[in-house]
Structure 1
Amino acid sequence: MQRKAYVSGVAALLAVLLAGCTGGSSDDSSTDNSNPGDAGTASPAAQPGKYRTLPEPCSAVDQDTLDSLLPGIAQITDEEQRDKAYEGEATLTFDTDRKVGCRWKVDSTDATDRLYVDFERVVSYHNSVSDDSEAEEVFGTKEAAADLPEPATSGSSSDGDSSSDSGSSSTDPSSSASASSSASPAADSSESASDSASPSATPSSLLPRTLSDLGDEAFLDDALSGSGSTVQQRTVTVAFRTSNVIVTIEYEEQPATVGAVPDSKEMQDRARKLAASLADTLAG
């Protein structure tokens, strides 16, 4: 009888201990999983980007556009070589759903033209950051690297200077006319030549700048390398972002003649037209 009582007492003690442990575990769980101010709710995942795939880059540029950007392509007499020139060369990539590109190069009697088109689909790996936001940050870094000039501001100080000059009683029209007439023709021609060669002579509409009519955000860069005594190469870059896809176009022209300068407006117009066409392709 005494042995049975002892066993029952041990069983009762174990039951009390187990109950205490269970209660403590439950209390700890509620404390660890608590979320002050938003108990029981999980943060919503950021929205994925609009695009899940990318277009085939070498077929994204049609033949008429290639004829315009690469004039020498029509001068290729061998049909097989001409077809190969139209096809372009795909760039090496390890994930065609993330980054693809294509290059074209055509030599002609007048110049060598190169075209490069790149598509990049940006994906965020953070639940709190959407693909679009990640792409916006990537594009911002790309634009900053282009180092575009600051846009001109309206209401420059020169207006104020001219108004103060016109109101000054010390200004002598006759002396101004005399000073103007004393300038030599040689000096005028030298100054004119200097202005035409200066970057400041470039129309503001052709300077590197952001673009407001292409995708969600875009910019254009225009760079001329070399000097008048060497072959000069112009590179026009147009980049734009639409949702989580960034498209970059690099269009280069190197004349065959020393001293010849590729036309900035013509190249910019061609590159922008291609960019608009690729934006329409992405829009479906």
Structure 2
Amino acid sequence: MAYVPGAVLIAALVAGCSAGDEGDASATDSKPGTLTASAAPPGKYRTLPEACRSIPLATLKDLLPGAAQLAEAQQEKVFEGTPTETFDTDRRVGCGWKSDGADASRSIVVDFERVVSYDPSVSDDDRAREVYAKKEAAAHLPSASVAPGDTEKGDAAGSSESPADSSSKSTADASADPKDGTDPAPDPQGSTDGADTGGAADGGTEDGADGGPAENLQPRVLDTLGDSAFLDDLLTTAGSTAQHRTVSVVFRTSNVIVTIEYTAQPALATEVPDSKELQEKAQALGENLVDRFSE
């Protein structure tokens, strides 16, 4: 049996331990940057408001004037609202209210969507920008909504469109669909298209009562609401029933997208809902909701 001096044996053991330590170190560094990589920041909002309590009672009474004609018990039921059914209330909530008066019926729907990015390299805010951009593109806002001095706005990318938008387009196409390829004859009554804007059909280029430019009531981008916003205005005629107008205001604040739909339908088929009134009230509600997020 060979004899191994003690010093040699100790040296061999030390060398073996050193080699093992080096192997562990290399294994730890086998995925460089894994522990130091930083994910995109989360969105500002982690929760959503309670949708059916998001609108003050005084505002609801103004939005739903027909409710004042109802009995007190019926009024309370109207103002309670009806929650929108959703699969995940942490990500999306909504509520709707409706009142039927002798002169007209009105309804208001609010929808809150909290956008979350599941890509660690994309922030919640950036993903929300993408979602909002698709909604704006689907609205097909006309070039008339571009502010004076801006270049003409082309059709936004995106193939999806809302049912209301499709209804408005079908009405307009029906009046401008000459089968012989010629230009459509002018309407002898001077009407515009299915998306009547209550008098400012050209987006505010006509002279107003004071001789200045008329107010722009066309669908358009809103510059002072949240981080991004737009307004859509659709007038729909369904068969022989009264015309109903829906004004939609959509805005984004950080990683939350809010959609407001305000609809009015007069009792008489000959009456046209007032575009200016609906737009003003819908925008005012949008400003109120933005302020609630800022609290």
Please state which band the TM-score falls in when normalised by the shorter chain: 0.7 to 0.9
Residue by residue over 1:185-208, the C-alpha shift from the partner in whole angstroms, topping out at 9 and shown as x without a partner, is: xxxxx9685334446851511111
TM-score by length of 2: 0.70
Other structure's SS at 1:195 match: coil
Cα pair 1:228 1:258 within 8 Å, conserved:
no
- State whether structure 2 residue 64 is matched by structure 1 residue 32: no
Structure with larger RCO (C-alpha < 8 A, sep 6+)? 1
Contact 1:228 1:259 (C-alpha < 8 Å) held by counterparts: no
Q: Which has the higher helix share?
A: 1
Structure 1 unaligned regions, length at least 5: 157-189
Q: Matches of 1:196 and 1:117 in 2, distance apart?
A: 31
TM-score using structure 1 length: 0.73
Gaps of 5+ in 2: 151-184, 204-215
What is residue 242 of structure 1 aligned with on the other side? 253
Matches within 5 A, 1:36-185: 42-76=36-70, 78-150=71-143, 151-152=145-146, 154=148
The percentage of counterpart residues that share the same residue type is 48
**Which is higher, the Rg of structure 1 or of structure 2?**
1
Map Cα deviations across residues 120-147 of structure 1 (whole Å, 9 max, x no partner). Answer: 1112222221111111111111111112
Instruction: Measure how far apart 1:31 and its partner are.
Output: 7.3
User: Are the structure 2 counterparts of residues 219 and 33 from structure 1 closer, same or farther at C-alpha, using a change threshold of 3 Å?
Assistant: same
Q: Does structure 1 residue 268 correspond to structure 2 residue 255? A: no
The separation in 1 between residues aligned to 2:219 and 2:250, in whole angstroms, is 12
How far apart, in 2, do the equivalents of 1:197 and 1:31 lie?
Answer: 70
Rounded to whole Å, the distance in 2 between the matches of 1:28 and 1:240 is 51
Residue 237 of structure 2 is matched in structure 1 by: 226
Q: Distance in 2 between matches of 1:225 and 1:202?
A: 15
Does the CA-based 8 Å contact 1:208-1:220 persist in structure 2?
Answer: yes
Counterparts of 2:20 and 2:247, CA distance in 1: 71
- Corresponding residue for 2:189? 194
1:154-205 C-alpha deviation (Å, 9 max, x unpaired)? 579xxxxxxxxxxxxxxxxxxxxxxxxxxxxxxxxx9685334446851511
- CA deviation profile, 1:26-85 (whole Å, cap 9, x unmatched): 6864873346xxxx8723222221111111111111122112211111010x21111111
State the distance in 1 between where 2:148 and 2:191 align.
Answer: 24
Equivalent in the alignment of 1:211: 222
Contact conserved, 2:146 with 2:220, CA < 8 A, in 1?
Answer: no
Which stretch of structure 1 is more off in the superposition, 268-277 or 201-210? Answer: 201-210
Q: Secondary structure of the equivalent of 1:61?
A: coil
Cα deviation, residue 153, structure 1: 7.0
- Secondary structure in 1 matching 2:42: coil
